[in-house]
Structure 1
Amino acid sequence: MLRKILSLACIFCIYTSLFAQQLDEQYNQLIKDYTTDARFLPEKLLNMVDHPTIPSPLKFFGHIIGAEGHVHRSEEIFGYYKKLAETSPMVHMQEMGKSEEGRSFYLVIIADEKSIERLEHYKTQTARLADARITSPEQARAIIQDSKPIYYVSGGMHATEMGSPEMLMELAYRLVTSTDDEIRQIRENIITVINPIMEPDGWDKQVDWYYRYTKGREKFDDGFPRSTPYWGKYVFHDNNRDGLQISQEITKSIFKGFFEFHPTVMLDLHESVPLLYISTGTGPYNDYVDPITQSEWQVMGNHDVAAVAAQGMPGAFTWAFYDGWWPGYGIWVANNHNSNGRFYETYGNAGADTYLRDLSTARYAGDLATSKEWYRPDPATPQVLWSFRNNINYTQVGVIASLSYAANNAKLLLENFYKKGYNSLQKGKTEGPKAYSIAKAQRDPSMVAYLADRLIAQGIEVHENDTHYIALTEQPYRNLLVSLMTPTAYPKDAKFPPYDAIAWTLPNLYGVEVEKHEELQKNPAELKRVEAGVRYEGTVSADATSYLIPYHAQANVLPALYAVEAGARNAEFFVLPNSTEIQGKLYPAGTVLIRKINASLAKQIAQNFGLDLVPEPVTIMRAALRDIQLPRISIYHTWFNTQDEGWSRFTFDTNKIPYTSIDKDDLKAGNLRAKYDVILVPRVRGNAKNFIHGVDSKYGPMPYTKTADFPSHGFPASTSDMTGGPGFVGMENLKKFVEEGGMLITLENTSAIMAEAGLIPELSPVSTPTLFHPGSIVRGKSRNPVNPILYGYPEDFDLFRGNGPLLQTDKYNRQYMVAQYGYGQLKDEVPYEGPILGMPTVEKVEKEEKTATKNPPYVVSGMVRNEQEIIGHGAIFQVPVGKGSIVAFTFDPLHRYLNLHQAPMVWNAMMHWNYR
């Protein structure tokens, strides 16, 4: 009987092996048909299996992946993976949360059947390797023998980069059905985790956009917008710049996946440069990334380039794109936590059409994209006929090569993963600092709690006692902790400009004081571990009907006032415009007084908004107060650039500040002052021409509306025609709004646009030809400390500024300058001390020498070249226009929900919008 069973099993094995070699000739021929050049198609991709029970994309969709004119919405893509999971025991699919619009995030896990059965075991093993406190080197060696690397591959973060979500479906089918030795080793030796569509909201909008507007267009570079105006509800391309804040649902899902699986490698698939870029970066590399990871970047990058070249495919390269410095990308959850985060950039057409593309002028790291270099051994020709299928081929070949490397070096990758965490832990034991302490009693206790909570969200352990939060550095993510708490020093002599911002020191961005300890001040055993969800609950010291909020530019004061207004319609709000002593206690300028409120609501406000309310000690004379009238706020958005407007909306929504979203049609309709008191115009790219005229009207009408055919459009805003802008009529109405008593607030580049358009003629651009100011934390200084915009701020303060435009007024208008950059004076403000013709000579009186006070440095964290060109120039202006005013920031105080210490400057302006 046993012999019979074995005989039948052998027959089954032989049958399975023979069947597995049967190829899907139709699928393979279609791959050939849609590939434009034989060099773009290696033989290894022409081995699609015709499986009897597991459907290929061709059987499931009716066309192959990369077919001309075909892309799929998120539910179709997820439906395919669900079918794979139903038909193959080698596929496991799990939901990882919901997007802002309610779409699901998924992970698809692929490995051989035994690995899937033991998936929880392997996840436990990598978690043990991630923490060297619970796993000794000896134990790690034993664990590694019974572990498998987990390789996380993700696509679809940026909506217009449309190849990877499609390619990953075909890759998944290959991983499940192919009997090639390379694929078999991948299945057996590693666990592949696929994030099919990182941003499903943006993906569906873009798929609708493709079918609605760009499918079949004859030329790629014809000026027509290739992208839908919105991706996520809030964030456009910056959804890959949220890795420090973890504020968007896409980032939360990435972090959830990392801490559940502890992947050894994470590979994020993008599209931009020709033909395939495999990341290593030009440097400088981030100081806090373990040298092992930096070396892995080189080894794996060169391996993948070699693998692509070995198959005869031109145009693959490494090194000459990106740097490796800023830690806030989504995939840097890996690099920041002792794993390995990498990415690809494949050439893409923002859709499924074929175009003749011109690469002849593209340069990266100073070299032409078509030049032969040490890092690009086989460049592309200056022009290529590029199809969607070409894109699929290149990305897929690269990913298979990278998975194969992991399968063949599984133990080494696991050893490196453990060693990086061990190294970080040892640094905490043997090097300073030993701890960071954050006093709970600070100017904004709510922001103190927020900093502690963000550290915990990053996987960093935080402890506390009655007075402080304490982060000990003897922990696996010590390097990240030090990185987040330490000012950066980007090298001034770096050969290539940085790829993104170069400073991210959280205490400075949040306005929180942190003390670094080279030796432990407290016995760790006396400390209590803090869990996620840290927040400060304010106090109300006694019951009353009127309360003071001593003002220190707390982030939640304006939101709290709106909540009071909603809960007590008769409530009255006032401000102390000057520092005032009341019964022996000094209340700073900007202190808010709330009257006609009951104690129950006061306690609710204190608790919900993290504010301390003090009963009004004595009735303050009306003459010492100024009314606060909460404004009706609108946020303006263009249809050609929604990035920073999205961050502004997110900041307002998160802070529960009510607003109305308006666009070009609202400006053209006029009557703005009857509806709004404040209009905020967030940063937009471009110039006054772009702002005034918007998307070229020759493409109109171009509706962005929800329809049965395009169900994802029309959100978060809708219009019957995206083309055109407010025009000169709209700009005149905006000016009229201010003249009639409204406040216009402009941020960074938009301030320059308004000056250029003539709404702020007092401001002019400043020429700074040698100034280089990548995103850094620098020092601002008050010029007009009595202006309400600076209520709650000291004489100097930290602010975040990038390479934006610089504005200035004539000397006789400097009273409009509220704050400046740095401590120095402008040249025309330095007093003249020489002789003056026509005036009698006055003998100089010898003055007693005083020790000169050295001004604090301008750069707090980051780097600025030729900073003398900006010091003394205006950071914030408030210019009167008729009965109203324009507040012009020359930096963005609402940048990526990151520089939270500056947001209260905007809240101050709004709270005191009718101040003259």
Structure 2
Amino acid sequence: MTLKHLKTILVALFVSHLQIGQSQQITSPKEHYGFHIGDDYMLTNYEQTESYFKKVAAQSDRVLIQEAGKTEEGRQQYLLVVSSPENLKNIEKYRAISQRLGRAENLTDEEAKTLSKEGKPIVWIDGGMHSSETVGTHQLIETFYQLSSSQDDEILNFLDKVIVLMFHVNPDGHDLLSNWYMQYEDKEKRNMSIPRLYQKYVGHDNNRDFFMFNMIESTNMAKLLYVDWLPQIMYNHHQTSPDGTIVAGPPYRDPFNHIFDPLLITGIDGVGFAMIDRLNIEGKPGYVRMDQSGFSTWWNGGGRTSPYFRNMIGILTETHGSPTPTEVPAVAQRLVPRNGLPNPIGPQKWHFKQSIDYSVSMNYAILDYAARNGDQLLYNFYKMGKNSIERGNKDNWTMYPKYAEQLEKAYDEAVASGTEEEAEPTQYYRSKVIPQKYYDAIYKNPENRDPRAYIISADQPDFATAVKFVNTLIKGGVYVHQSKAGFSYGGKDYPANTIVVKANQAFRPHIIDMFEPQDHPHDVQYPGGPPIRPYDAAGWTLAMQMGVEYDRIFEDIPVPLEKTEYGVLMTPPSISVEKGKAGYTISAKANDAFIAVNKLLKSGINVFRDENTQDFYVDAKAKPVLDGMATDYGLRITALAKKPASITPVNGLKIGLFDYYGGSMPSGWVRWLLEQYEYEYELFYPQDVDEHVIAKYDVLLFIGPGIPVGKDNGIPRRGKQIEKDLVPEKYHRWMGDLTKETSIPILKEYVNNGGKIVTVGTSSGWVYALGIGIDNPLMEENKDGKIEPVSNTKYFIPTSILAAEIDTDKAENYGMKKDAKIVFNNSPVFQFQATDKLYSLGKFTTDKPLLSGWAHGQEYLKDTHLGLVALLGKGKIVAIGPEVTNRGQSHGTFKMLFNQLYQ
């Protein structure tokens, strides 16, 4: 060996040693925070964590850190890209491969196989979405440290074969919750009973926003997931598990959404089996799954469920644990091994570190699965997208439950009438075998095909809201087409700017889901038994909720159209306002008209309502404001040569919006909504009612729970589980209850003195007890002669969309369509005899009002009123039963609230 060779080897060894030494010098959480992640009674906050992310990213060659947008409160979010140094040097190559395979455009199977071998699987791991679920936040920190610093062979293998995306979902809540918990010097007094929601507007509902993207945080996350990176696996950490278990995870229970590719479901199963296997190998019992965990793959809208509609394997776990030590209780039925819980755990004291260890193990199980199956994950991702494109290019029939029911009904009727001989049941399973001709009559019926495209005409009354709907699709990774000129198709003329959404793209399941009704199966514990509640909504079709008008197209559209770029949002076409000698009208059919009205009122310009057209009227001096509105919002503003004959002044009201300690999510959504439409409001609390502070408001809004109804005290216990002496004094006035004995009489007095109370959802049931002739039609006499609510074995309507008829002649409904699509969640409805002081806002006029979702016993709603107005003394009560402001999604019914906010 020459001296030169020896020097070369020594230099190489030195460099290698230096690199290893540097990797071992990564700052540990203990060095940064002053305690180990998982220590009892100890939490980090986001301010500390942001600096830790930056510090480790600067120290480790395994980490890229990228800004990912600000939160609602202005904190910076980051994407942490973690992989081997060599992978990070080529990160754009691997990101591009994932995008190409995920979109599946212009690729052959052979090209996709080649790319799958060249690429690296991408796995998303997040934490912190729900801030009181502190395991999720802290496992992210611990996993990040281990991946960025460890020399363990298994971790090095992960980093070599996988690209990991790590994301903190809710920085605002992290600071709020942790700072609250850590403010108590006495560890035994540390608690998570924060005074307000841990996301600025919607708290826990930040995980209900992933097809709508109202919140900034969900928009930031969608861009990363569906536009920029397209990971194959998305892991969303939550807590807590069912009593007597440690983790609830995949595989999940039925039903799964019928439009999924079967590869998605088997992909979820594969990852789930890898997770439970690892925990069992490591001696970590208590993993519950399938029907024992309660989580399904039906719903779109959650962090881990929405990826399903983009062919991504979404993983949710709910993990037991807290920084304050807890107990794993003994639950008898969960101490017996079964398929859904093969490895039960006994009762014991449980520490935070154990939860962190479980979470890190599950992260590693997923990374191990991806490392072993990377090329297959990438190819399957492509294959699901390719299948979607092919389904969108030809006739396709989705196998909805309604078709199976029609099939069986047609056969049974034929047997009953004697036109068909009943087939013998199969030997082993005693199944009812139905001749194929019945199958063909339904599953090959052209009327039952899936649409190949949807046309959203630019001449609909509220095109700006239609554009908002389309932008939710674009944020979610869908592309659309738009016409630059008018065209004719199917005997109908469409103007320029009309939007066409084609289904022949990889994310077709999401497109179908946003336009078509959900057909939730009748899911009960046993025939005739109680229903099994859906994980969240049963029906949510967004185009229906938003009141978008669209045409279904079942063939190719041979029309010149321009395709949008991925992730590039649309704006409504600008409209010029001609000079009007006698003023202008603003179409009240457009939701954004209310933004214009509020801007005009704030500018000191008088606004009126045309009683004949229901539109808003302003005089000629309003033109500068109107020019901006027409340009920015595409509002239809008509110049007038003659002033309308019958106009009424529109005056803004001083709005009080009810909230309570701990925070109301329905109220929070309306806070956000009022701000979007430029209403001014103040929050008021239970003590403000009892102390008559509410007298300063013109209108009181109670959205969701609040006013006591029946046996319910009105406010969920979640907002009251803390002793007053543990709460800083500035929050004391937020605490307390509304009571039947004290608060309800004060509210009645407020109305009699000229105030207005508007209720939406649960609180609307307060009118039953006012003694003004309003009954609850969902009550019946039981076998003991007592009047009680109709049993859920007879009537059960979880969040779904129903058809209703609106009385558009009433000022409270101005601008609404007569045929409304209403979001309904076991909502209050009303029965009464109408008078000049008690009148209806709308009714359910059929015994089958269901449009999307699940409505067991829907016939009970026939001829019931969905909303009412009661004039009491000098004031007014407006009670609206259904969720017309539902999570900031139901744009089609926003006007039912907005109209109440003016005099």
The partner residue of 2:581 within 544, 552, 563 is 544
Q: Distance in 2 between matches of 1:697 and 1:377?
A: 35
Q: Distance in 1 between matches of 2:721 and 2:27?
A: 46
The partner residue of 2:472 within 454, 465, 486 is 454
Q: Distance in 1 between matches of 2:814 and 2:175?
A: 44
Q: Secondary structure at the match of 1:263?
A: coil
Q: Distance in 1 between matches of 2:193 and 2:55?
A: 32
* CA-to-aligned-CA distance 1:506-534 (integer Å, 9 cap, x gap): 221111211111112333x4445474132
* CA-to-aligned-CA distance 1:588-634 (integer Å, 9 cap, x gap): 3x23222363433332233344321223343334xx33332222222
User: Within the alignment, does 1:424 sit opposite 2:395 as a pair?
Assistant: no
Q: Distance in 2 between matches of 1:785 and 1:256?
A: 40
Q: Secondary structure at the match of 1:771?
A: coil
Alignment of 1:756-835 (within 5 A): 758=770, 762-764=774-776, 766-767=778-779, 768-769=790-791, 770-782=794-806, 784-804=807-827, 806-811=828-833, 816-824=838-846
Closer, same or farther: CA 288–626 of 1 in aligned 2, 3 Å: same
Partner of 1:375: 340
Alignment of 1:174-213 (within 5 A): 174-195=146-167, 197-212=168-183
Kindly provide the amino acid, as one letter, of the partner of residue 30 in structure 2: L
Kindly provide the amino acid, as one letter, of the partner of residue 573 in structure 1: F
Q: Distance in 1 between matches of 2:721 and 2:281?
A: 48
Kindly provide the amino acid, as one letter, of the partner of residue 248 in structure 1: M
Give the aligned CA root-mean-square deviation in angstroms. Answer: 2.8
Unmatched 5+ residue regions in structure 1?
21-49, 362-367, 580-587, 706-717, 825-854
Partner of 2:652: 630
Instruction: State the Cα distance separating 1:333 from its structure 2 match.
Output: 4.3
Partner of 1:108: 80
| 2:29 and 2:35 in contact (8 A); partners too | yes
Closer, same or farther: CA 671–415 of 1 in aligned 2, 3 Å: closer
Alignment of 1:581-730 (within 5 A): 588=613, 590-595=614-619, 597-621=621-645, 624-670=646-692, 672-673=694-695, 675-684=696-705, 687-688=708-709, 690-691=713-714, 699-701=723-725, 703=727, 719-725=731-737, 730=743
Q: Distance in 1 between matches of 2:180 and 2:340?
A: 36
Closer, same or farther: CA 528–303 of 1 in aligned 2, 3 Å: closer
Instruction: State the Cα distance separating 1:890 from its structure 2 match.
Output: 0.9
| TM-score w.r.t. length of structure 2 | 0.84
The partner residue of 1:341 within 314, 319, 322 is 314
Partner of 2:410: none
| 2:581 and 2:642 in contact (8 A); partners too | no
Unmatched 5+ residue regions in structure 2?
396-449, 486-494, 526-531, 780-789
| 2:684 and 2:694 in contact (8 A); partners too | no
Q: Distance in 1 between matches of 2:521 and 2:126?
A: 32
Kindly provide the amino acid, as one letter, of the partner of residue 502 in structure 1: A
Alignment of 1:315-354 (within 5 A): 315-319=286-290, 320-349=293-322, 352-354=323-325
Alignment of 1:281-430 (within 5 A): 281-319=252-290, 320-349=293-322, 352-360=323-331, 368-381=333-346, 383-430=347-394
Q: Distance in 2 between matches of 1:619 and 1:11?
A: 89
More divergent stretch after superposition (323-332 vs 685-694)? 685-694
| 2:121 and 2:231 in contact (8 A); partners too | yes
More divergent stretch after superposition (812-821 vs 205-214)? 812-821
Alignment of 1:122-137 (within 5 A): 122-137=94-109
Q: Secondary structure at the match of 1:808?
A: coil
| 2:209 and 2:301 in contact (8 A); partners too | yes
| 1:151 and 1:191 in contact (8 A); partners too | yes
Partner of 1:8: 10
Q: Distance in 1 between matches of 2:570 and 2:706?
A: 36
Q: Secondary structure at the match of 1:97?
A: strand
Identity of aligned residues (%): 23
Q: Distance in 1 between matches of 2:808 and 2:452?
A: 39
Partner of 2:222: 255
More divergent stretch after superposition (467-476 vs 100-109)? 467-476
Instruction: State the Cα distance separating 1:885 from its structure 2 match.
Output: 0.9
Q: Distance in 2 between matches of 1:736 and 1:355?
A: 47
Instruction: State the Cα distance separating 1:336 from its structure 2 match.
Output: 2.0
Instruction: State the Cα distance separating 1:345 from its structure 2 match.
Output: 0.8
| 1:683 and 1:748 in contact (8 A); partners too | yes
Instruction: State the Cα distance separating 1:671 from its structure 2 match.
Output: 5.2
Q: Secondary structure at the match of 1:864?
A: coil
Kindly provide the amino acid, as one letter, of the partner of residue 321 in structure 1: G
Instruction: State the Cα distance separating 1:62 from its structure 2 match.
Output: 2.8
Instruction: State the Cα distance separating 1:813 from its structure 2 match.
Output: 6.2
Kindly provide the amino acid, as one letter, of the partner of residue 422 in structure 1: K
Partner of 1:476: 506
Instruction: State the Cα distance separating 1:549 from its structure 2 match.
Output: 2.9
Instruction: State the Cα distance separating 1:52 from its structure 2 match.
Output: 4.6
The partner residue of 1:500 within 515, 520, 536 is 536
Instruction: State the Cα distance separating 1:217 from its structure 2 match.
Output: 3.6
Closer, same or farther: CA 540–93 of 1 in aligned 2, 3 Å: same
| 2:829 and 2:867 in contact (8 A); partners too | no
Kindly provide the amino acid, as one letter, of the partner of residue 522 in structure 2: K
Partner of 1:232: 199
Instruction: State the Cα distance separating 1:749 from its structure 2 match.
Output: 0.7
Q: Secondary structure at the match of 1:597?
A: helix
Partner of 2:232: 264
* CA-to-aligned-CA distance 1:777-808 (integer Å, 9 cap, x gap): 101123x543212223343321111123x343
* CA-to-aligned-CA distance 1:169-220 (integer Å, 9 cap, x gap): 222222233333321211111011111x2101111111122123697347x9
Instruction: State the Cα distance separating 1:498 from its structure 2 match.
Output: 1.0
Instruction: State the Cα distance separating 1:910 from its structure 2 match.
Output: 2.4
Partner of 1:62: 34
Q: Secondary structure at the match of 1:281?
A: strand
